[in-house]
Amino acid sequence: MSEAFLKNPVGLFDVKGKTAIVTGASGAFGSLAAKILAGAGANVVLAASKEDELKKVATECEALGGKATVIALRPSSEENCDKIVQTALDKFGSVDILVVASGLNKVQKIVEQKYEDFLDVMDANVNQSWLMARAAGRQMLKQGKGGKVILTSSARGLLGHPAGYTAYCASKSAVDGITKALGCEWGSTGITVNALGPTVFRSPLTAWMYEDTDQAKAVRTGFLARVPKGRLGEPEDLAGPLLFLASKASDFYTGHILYADGGYTAG
């Protein structure tokens, strides 16, 4: 067994020059994932529906030292997923990392939720994860160099929620199932398949939870009673887990859900 890694263990986390596709790249987690990878030297292909928002993220990625290109498509069809992969090939020549950060939640109690809304959540979170993993995986298999597939899970795939989360919980449980099954299916190919499960982290969507208001304090108190670390998440809390899953450091880690949640799911 080679012990060359002992001379440079930090090199296990190196993604410089790798090409990463990030879907949902204009959203809170997608844009953060893109910037983390770009800051680590990866080329990033940013996919989402709004080109103007993608261009802003691309500019931020390039300011961090990475190369970026955008494609204004969601992974909502086989054709779109193939186009996203082809964009990576045309611009950077390979697909090494996939981060599926696109997703949707429609918070409604089951007796009030339309079936169409349930299907929308399942399509965005489950179908699109499956389609994009398949499209990127085909290219990774063709390249024969392995690869990293990172889906987006949630504590809600493991735990229930009392406030209208039947669609979201079901969708994230399904993502976990895809992660485990595909980790097994591609186990001998060099492609690892894992999911990152963030809890609440600071972003434009959650900024109100960090404010010094009575409502925010009440929500924090209830939520943090279940978080052993005793605080809400920060963007930097996701950097290490994401780089681990995107790099050689996780070559023997597949079919797992990595919860970056301050211990929330341990309780």
**Per-position DSSP letters for the chain, written without gaps between them:** ---GGGG-GGGGG--TT-EEEEETTTSHHHHHHHHHHHHTT-EEEEE-S-HHHHHHHHHHHHHTT-EEEEE---S-SHHHHHHHHHHHHHHHS---EEEE---------TTT--HHHHHHHHIIIIIHHHHHHHHHHHHHHHHTS-EEEEEE--GGGTS--TTT-HHHHHHHHHHHHHHHHHHHHTTTTTEEEEEEEE-SB-STTTGGGGSSSHHHHHHHHHHHTT-TT-S-B-THHHHHHHHHHHSGGGTT--S-EEEESTTGGG-
d(CA 38, CA 33): 8
Residue 147 has a pLDDT of 98
Tokens standing for 7? Answer: 């001379």
Considering the domain 4-201+235-262 in this protein, what is its CATH number? 3.40.50.720
Residue-wise pLDDT tens digits, 203-218 = 887 888 899 999 888 8
Q: In which residue ranges of the chain is pLDDT below 70? A: 1
User: Would you please indicate which residues are annotated as catalytic (active-site) residues?
Assistant: 168
Which pLDDT does position 56 carry in this prediction? 98
The pLDDT of residue 183 = 98
pLDDT at 257: 98
Provide Rg for the chain, Cα atoms.
18
96-124 pLDDT, tens digit per residue, is 999 999 899 999 999 999 999 999 999 99
Residue 261 φ/ψ region, left for φ over 0, alpha for ψ in the -120 to 50 degree band, beta for the rest: alpha
What is the pTM (predicted TM-score) of this model? 0.95
Structure tokens belonging to residue 208? 């109100």
What residues form DSSP beta bridges with 47? 23, 71
Residue 85 is predicted with a pLDDT of: 98
* Tokens matching residue 121: 């959540």
